[in-house]
Every structure is written in structure tokens, then in C-alpha cells.
Structure 1
Amino acid sequence: MASRTAWLKRALAAAGLLALACGPLEAATFSPERGLNLDLWDTWPNEAEWSRDGVLLPYPEWRRRLDAEDLASLKNVGFDFLRMPVDPIPFLSPKADHLHERLLMSVLEGVRTINAAGLKAIVDLHPIPRGADRFAGVEELLRDDALFERYLDLVRDMGRTLAAEDPERVAFELLNEPVTGCEGAEATAWDDQLGRLFAAARSSAPRTTLILSGACWGSASGLAALNPNSIPDDNILWGFHSYDPFILTTQGALWAGDFIRYVTGVPYPPYEHKAELEAALSKARARIRADAPFMRRSGMLDYLDEQIAGIDTEQELDAQMDAPFKTVADWAARYGVDPENILLGEFGMIRQEYGNPDVIPGAWRAAYIRDMIEKAEEHGFAWSIWGYGGAFGIVEEFGGNPAEGDVLRMIRSLKK
């Protein structure tokens, strides 16, 4: 750890930033409180189409249908910042080489649109797992040394793009949910990569607040594995995500493994909705018996019972939901990190998986999100709900139609 810190100081000194990084301890310049994640994509175009006019720009895609007036309505609800996910792969794809600078300027225009609405903005570089529609994803960025070097160049470019913006209004998150493990050799690898990401961003954005997170998909345990003192800078926010309990928040999802797709309709809180819980479990068991791979059925049924047993009382449910917050709070106390410099960057409860007719009632989602907000604010952490639209949408459902208003009404009711 000491050698990495020394390397960082040499890198910052070479960039003329060591005096800035070694100044007195201060809070981050960017100070978020209550936020919402915008959508990463709407139409998810295949990489093969990225070179065509009108496919990528304006970027991100939400800019085609939302303007400052639309975003100002979110400020009126009670949000003070928006986290803007930006897929970095188009910047690295040969299909979009000719658009690199235009993509950067389009992201900057998105930031300025958010600021014009009276909201602060976080630019979140947000790679996703690779699919058949793209040449690389988050795992490839972290495993391929040459590709990671190119990603560092993008971080420098994005930092340069944001550097002239008001540092109280704009922050920069360097990598969403790194999939590296948070123990052993993988933890060491992420520790090194995080330092290199920080040095790259700080070299081009000396005043901008940077948002850093731990490994293990940006989890609380990943953050707790970091030593924040190895980053010689105080203009930092430390981020983590929590979707606990998974069986509640991602039920019905097709992208979250081969079990959860069979489970829908689990209420929140389950101990207050016994009839709905039993109906959901009966339906899930029937789906597993009918549709799951034959050799997996028995194990899935046992796993379902195990997961429900961990949340079917008030005490058990609260313990699961509180665990990530306690982990982060203990880490912050151990290293002297101000809770105001901690961001719960993502949390939420699925509304409806794409193509699945089952919709989680808005009242259940509002209750879950309210309880997570209470936990975050009790600890002094800022927070950002996932997300604006799509499967987890609190403003819109798929297709741009309004989602149920329960969550937004709950946000409006929060005390200042």
C-alpha cells in the first residue's frame, strides 16, 4: 500500500498537483444529498450501428426526449442531483472513433442541461457486461491491460471535458461497479487500478470531485476492503451500492442468474402481506417445477425457502437491509471518513422486467425505497435511486409512459 501511495504522489507531482492533493483535510467540493439515476440507454443499439448518423448522438440517449424543463420537475419533487450513467464502450469502439470528441461534447451538454434545471450532476462512467451487441464490457476493461490503458485515456479525456465546470455542481465517477473480487490477488489488482484511475482523472480535472468505489460490484464489502488513506486527496466521495435483499429488489429479472426469474410478486414488507407472500411463493414454486432445468429444480426450491426465511420477520429483514450501511459506517469510523463524503449511488426495487406481465405495486416499492432512504440519512450518507425509467423506473415505465406515482409522492413527503 505504501509503495502505491508513493507512486501516486510521484504521478501527481509530475502533473503539478501534489500540493493540491496534500493540503489540509477538507470535505469534497461537490456535496450531494438526494438524487436519481438517469437511464443508461433507451433503445440499446447494436455496436454494428454506432457509425451511422443519428444512432449515438445526442449522447446519452435520454437527451433526445428530456430537456431542462423536464429535469426541473425532478428538482420540484425533492431531488438536488442527478447521476448520469454514460456507457464508455462507444468511446472505445472502432465503430465510433470519428465521433469521440462529439460524444464528449454531447456528455458535457447533458451536464449543462442538468445544471440548467437547477440540479447538480454526476457523470458516471458506467460499463455493463459484454453481450453479443458489443466488443467489450466491464470485465474486459479490467482484465485486458491494453484496453484498460485506453480506458485511462478516456478518463483523462472526460476529466478534461468536465474540468472547467463549476466543481460545486459537477462530479466525476470513474468506474461503475467493478466486477473484480475484493479479496486476495483480485483486491490487490483493483487497488492498483483504482489508483491509476484516480491519477488519470486528477491529472486533467484538478478541481473536480471524484467518486471512487470498491470492488465486488461496488458493494459495501468492496468499499470496506479499501484503505482510503492510500488516495492522497480529500476532494473525494466514496460510493457503494445496495440492492439487499436481492430476492425482493430484482425479482423476475432475466439478467440476474437462473433463479430469480421465476420469482415475482414478493411483497414489501413481506411480514405485513402474508397472503400476497404465500401467493407469490406458490406461483414461484409452480414456475420452478414447470420451467427450471430438471436437475436444478430441487436446489432452487430449497434456495427459495432459504431466502424467504431470511426476510419473513421484521427483525430479519431489517438486519439484511441494515448490514451494508453498518459495514460502510464502521469503515468510515475506522479511517476517519466524513459520512457526508459517502454516497449510496444505487438502490431501488424492480417495477417490471421487460416482457414480463407482472408489475410490482408502487406502494411496495415506495415503502422499500423510503426505508432505504431512512437508513442512508440516519448514517449521514447521500443517496441516489435507480432509476428514472425502465425496469426499475420510478418516473417512467418501459416505452416512456408514466410509472405509478407512489415513489415520487413519497420523495415529496420527505422532511428537508
Structure 2
Amino acid sequence: MFSLMVLFFCRVGGHFVQTRMEDVKELAFRLFHVLFAFACLLVTVATASTTAFTMHRGVNLDPWVTWPLPERWDDEEILTNFPEWRRNTGLEDLQAIRKAGFDFVRMPVDPAIFLQDASEERVRKLLAAMLRSIDLLHKAGLKVVVDMHTIPSDKRKIGTNQISSDPALFARYLDLVGRLGRALSITDPALTAFEPFNEPVVDCDLAVYPKWSALLVQLHAAARNALPNHTLVLSGGCWASAYGLIQINPTTVADDNVIWTFHSYEPYILTHQGAGWTGDAMAYVEGLPYPPDRLGEEGFHEVLEEARHRIEKQAPEDKRKALLNNLNEMADGIADDAKALARLNEPFDQADAWSRQYNIAPERIYLGEFGMIRQEYGKNFLMPAEWRAAYMKDVVAAANKRGFPWSVWSWGGAFGITLADDKRVFDPVILEALKAE
């Protein structure tokens, strides 16, 4: 809106100048008019790509997923240390994030604890704890993206799947977006941004009637009404993938104070090894390196054979064939270094083309999550830091090449970039890779 006002006044001013300069020598008039138009163009372009919040390099803080079950959600210990990373974390730990070269953090906040059997007292305590956490991060010199981090689990009463499929629950969710937004309104828009939904799982199959675009319009309206001056972070569907992003027409939102985000863990077979919660062949894969040629062709195929053996021995009989096909299809996409790197870059090419199509500045396209698993909970295999560092270095290079800001997943947890969750010391090998330009 502001850019349109600037353009209007520039055009009116140009007409005024033209009528008043009729008696001036033609050369001087033309020079003045050209300079005037150029100045208006610069102002218009600048305002069109400006957001209240800017970012460069970030890290995701720990999510709620490893916290206790809902029966403990009213315990004072839980409410006081909300969100999860607050446990055993002090100002010095957060200052270490800033000293490591990160200028912002993405702070997951689980909506379920606000919605599931939540009393007004619980909600008030959670909001107060959230604001204290943001204030602590600001004191550490960090900007904050407050991320309403829904969890896609059918075992939950309230999660991503339920919110996007139940109109009544989605209406409650919109009310919560408004309430969290109003709480955040006291924060500095230059230091705090708001992401009202994490990884919608709908719209992966466009043969099914698309849902996310219409839901996104409602989500944006609820957040913007609560936060008129803060930058909003919005995504497409299909797990906030680049594929989901390019299905969105951003003119339906028509808001210059928005940063568009996508997540990428491609090639998936490399980044999610051993993760049993994925529900696919990943649970049976251990030891695939990055880049794939690191072990040589023979070593690469030995790892795949071991994964096939685990599927045949451990997977339910009625699922083995599908899992083996799934494994073979994914493995083919990383058969050599060139294929793996092409798969890694594909989401960035999609997001870049989309941003150019809609004339969105690259600093408003944000890689909100990327990473490579360190160690799946309950498993012995530990991914070598050198493999993870090589992968993250190539992802950062892909983002930097296109001018996209990014935040790595994550500070702690299975994908953590620290040496251990309890000590919060960054892995120096990975940290060096993330600093690469």
C-alpha cells in the first residue's frame, strides 16, 4: 500500500513539475524530469521489498516434541520453562549463539498446550513465559521468529493434521493466532517476527482439491489484525516445501511485510537416516554418507544392502515390498555426487523461479529449516560430523547463492548441531561449515 502511495505522489509531482517548467530551457527540464523519475523509482523499489524484520543466519531452538505428556502440562516446572529450550539454558548459552555468528533464532511454540484442555490460568502463564523467553533472547543480541510449531502426529488430540482438517478446531486455532499475536504486539517489530503455522501437511497431491491457499488467507488475516506492524512468516503447503510454496499465489495475501518460507531436507534419504517416525524406509537406513561417493561405489551399495536386509528381517511382511521399492527409488536419486547435488539444489531453483515470477526480493524468501540427522533417539548409530558438515555447507551455499536467509534445524535434539544437548557447545566442524560463504 505504501509503495502505491509513493508511486501516486511521484506521478502527480511529475505532472506538476512538467506544467511549471514550460518556460525553462528544454535541456534543463529533461534533466530534472529524468532525475525526479529516477528518485521516485528508487523509493518505490525500496519500499516494495522492505520488511520490518530482517534476517541472515539463524538456528532453530528445541521444539516441544520431547517434553512430557499432557497430564504434566500444568506442572509449574513445565510452565516456568516454556518453551523447552529454557530448561538448563541461561543467558550465556544464548549469547554463545550470537557469538557463533547467528543473528536470529526460530523459536518453536507448540499450540497444543494452549488448546488441549487448557485453563485460562495456563494460557496466561504460557504467554508470560513466552514473552520472558523472547526478552531473554533479545538481551542475548538475537532476533526472534516466534514459530507456532504444530506437530503432524495422529496420536495427538491437537496437531497439524487435526487443525487443517477440522473447521471448528481451525477456528479455535485462528483465535489462538490472534491471542498470541496481540501478546507479541508489545515487542519491537525490528526484533520479533511471527510465523503462525508450521509445515501444513495438505496439498502434496494437487489431484485432491487444494486446501492450503484458502486457509492461508484466513491465517494471514488473523495474524495481521493482531499484529499490524510486525513481519509475518508464511509458507506453502506440503510440509512447507518449495513445491508447496510455488503453488501459492502471493497476491492473495497482498502484504509487503511478509517473508515467505520453505523447508528443505533433500536428498531425504541422506538427511533422515534411522528416523523411525517417518513411517517409510528411512527407519532401516544407517551409514549413507554425504557426498555419496565418500565410501566409493562398493561401500555405498553395501550400506543399501544392509538396509534391504533390515527391511526383510524387521519390517511387517505386508509392508516389505513397498518399503523396498521406496528405498530403491530414493537411492537411485543419489547414485552419485552429481545426482545428490542436483537433488539438493532443486528446491532452491523452484523457490528462486517463484520469487522472480512474483517480483519478490530474495531476502523475503527464507529457508526456515534444513539439516542432517545426528542420532535418532534410542539408536546407536551416530552420523559423522564431517558428513553432516559437508551437507550443510552445500545447503548454505545454495541459499547464499540466491540471496536467501536461512535457519538450521536445530540447536539440540536428533538433528542438533551441538556436541551434546546438556552442554550446548557447538560442534566446531559443523559450525565452520555453516559460516562458509
TM-score > 0.5 by shorter chain: yes
1:75 aligns with 98
1:239 pairs with 2:261: yes
Q: CA–CA distance in 2 between the matches of 1:286 and 1:401?
A: 37
In structure 2, give the amino acid aligned to 1:118.
Answer: G
Structure with the bigger RCO (C-alpha within 8 Å, sep 6+) is 1
CA distance in 2, matches of 1:231, 1:95: 31
Aligned residue in 1 for 2:403: 380
Q: CA deviation at 1:290?
A: 1.4
Distance 1:390 1:177, change over 3 A: same
When residues 181 and 96 of structure 1 are mapped into structure 2, their CA distance, relative to the original with a 3 A threshold, is same
Aligned residues: 390
Equivalent position to 1:308, from 304, 327, 331:
331
Counterpart residue type for residue 262 of structure 1? Y
Whole-angstrom CA distance in 2 between matches of 1:91 and 1:54 = 16
Looking at structure 2, the residues matched to 110 and 276 of structure 1 have their Cα atoms a distance apart, in angstroms, of 46
Aligned residue in 1 for 2:220: 198
Equivalent in the alignment of 1:122: 145
* Alpha-carbon contact 1:155-1:200 (below 8 Å) kept: yes
Do the aligned partners of 2:178 and 2:222 also contact (CA within 8 Å) in 1? yes
Distance (Å, rounded) in 1 between the aligned partners of 2:234 and 2:423: 32
From 350, 358, 364, give the equivalent of 2:373: 350
User: Helix, strand or coil for the counterpart of 2:381?
Assistant: coil
2: CA distance, partners of 1:43 / 1:319: 34
- Calculate the TM-score normalised by the size of structure 2: 0.85
Residues 316 and 230 of structure 1: CA distance in aligned 2, closer, same or farther (over 3 Å): same
C-alpha separation between the residues in 2 aligned to 1:42 and 1:304? Answer: 27
Shift of 1:404: 4.3
Query: Cα deviation per residue 1:223-282 (whole Å; 9 max; x = unaligned)?
Result: 100111111210000000011111000010011113110101100001232254234223
For residues 344 and 413 of structure 2, the distance between their equivalents in structure 1, rounded to whole angstroms, comes to: 24
Which amino acid in structure 2 is aligned with residue 360 of structure 1? M
Paired position in structure 1 for 2:193: 171
Deviating 4+ runs (over 6 angstroms): none
Contact 1:393/1:403, CA 8 A, preserved across alignment:
no
Partner of 1:340: 363
Q: 2:391 aligns with which of 368, 372, 379?
A: 368
CA distance in 1, matches of 2:119, 2:386: 43
Q: Could you say which residue in structure 1 is the equivalent of 2:178? A: 156
Name the residue aligned to 2:231: 209
Q: Secondary structure at the match of 1:384?
A: strand
- How many angstroms apart in 2 are the aligned matches of 1:43 and 1:310? 32
CA distance in structure 1 between the partners assigned to 2:378 and 2:392 by the alignment: 24
SS of residue paired to 1:326: helix
SS in 2 for 1:218: coil
Larger radius of gyration: 2
Among 246, 250, 255, the residue aligned to 1:224: 246
Distance (whole Å) between structure 2 residues aligned to residue 81 and residue 322 of structure 1: 24
Structure 2 residue runs of 5 or longer lacking an equivalent are 1-45
Q: TM-score, normalised by structure 1?
A: 0.89
Instruction: Report the counterpart of residue 10 of structure 1 in structure 2.
Output: none
Write the letter of the residue equivalent to 2:162: E
Q: Which residue of 2 aligns with 1:144?
A: 166
1:256 paired residue among 278, 293, 307: 278
User: Among the aligned pairs, what percent are the same residue?
Assistant: 43
Corresponding residue number in structure 2 for 1:57: 80
Q: Which one-letter code corresponds to 2:359 in the other structure?
A: G
Q: Deviations over 1:270-297 (max 9, x none)?
A: 1232254234223212212211222433
Whether 1:181 and 2:166 are equivalent positions in the alignment is: no
